[in-house]
Amino acid sequence: MGDMIKAALDELSEHDVDSVEELTLVIGDLTNLGTDQLSFAFEIMSRDTILADAKLVIERETIRLRCRECDFDGPAEILRSEGYDHSVPVLACPVCGGPVNVTEGMACMIRSLKIKEATDVQI
C-alpha cells in the first residue's frame, strides 16, 4: 500500500489539485490482499496527505487462466471448505488438467484518482 500511496502522491504533485475525492485500486485475488487490511492501511498511511479524505474503492480482479494444452480460457476453479475462511485456486486447467498461464488475478495497481482541481481566483 505504501508504494501505491507514494505513486499517487507523486502523480498528484504534478497537477494543481485541490482535493482527492476517490482512489480506485484493482486488486487481484492471487495477491491475498484483503479489503479490510487495505482499507486500514490506506487510512493510516494517507493521514496528513491530500489523500486523507479520499474514498478508497477496491475492485477485485478474479483469477483467469489460459491452458497451454487445450486453449481453455476462463476462470480458475476455486476450492472451498466449510469452516475455513480461505479458498484456494486450482492453478491447472479445469477442462484437461494441463498446465496454465495466469492471465488475470495478480493485479495490485491504481486504476484511477477522482480529483477536484484547484481554481485560481483573481481579485
Domain hosting residue 85, numbered range:
2-117
In this predicted model, what pLDDT tens digit does every residue of 28-81 receive, in sequence order? Answer: 999 989 999 999 999 999 999 999 999 999 999 999 999 999 999 999 999 988
Q: Say how many domains are in the chain.
A: 1
Task: Quickly tell me which residue has 477485485 as its cell.
Answer: 60
> Has residue 123 been placed in a domain?
no
> Has residue 85 been placed in a domain?
yes
Q: What is the pTM of this model?
A: 0.84
CATH label of the domain that carries residue 43: 3.30.2320.80
> Has residue 122 been placed in a domain?
no
Is the per-residue pLDDT at 120 higher than 60? no
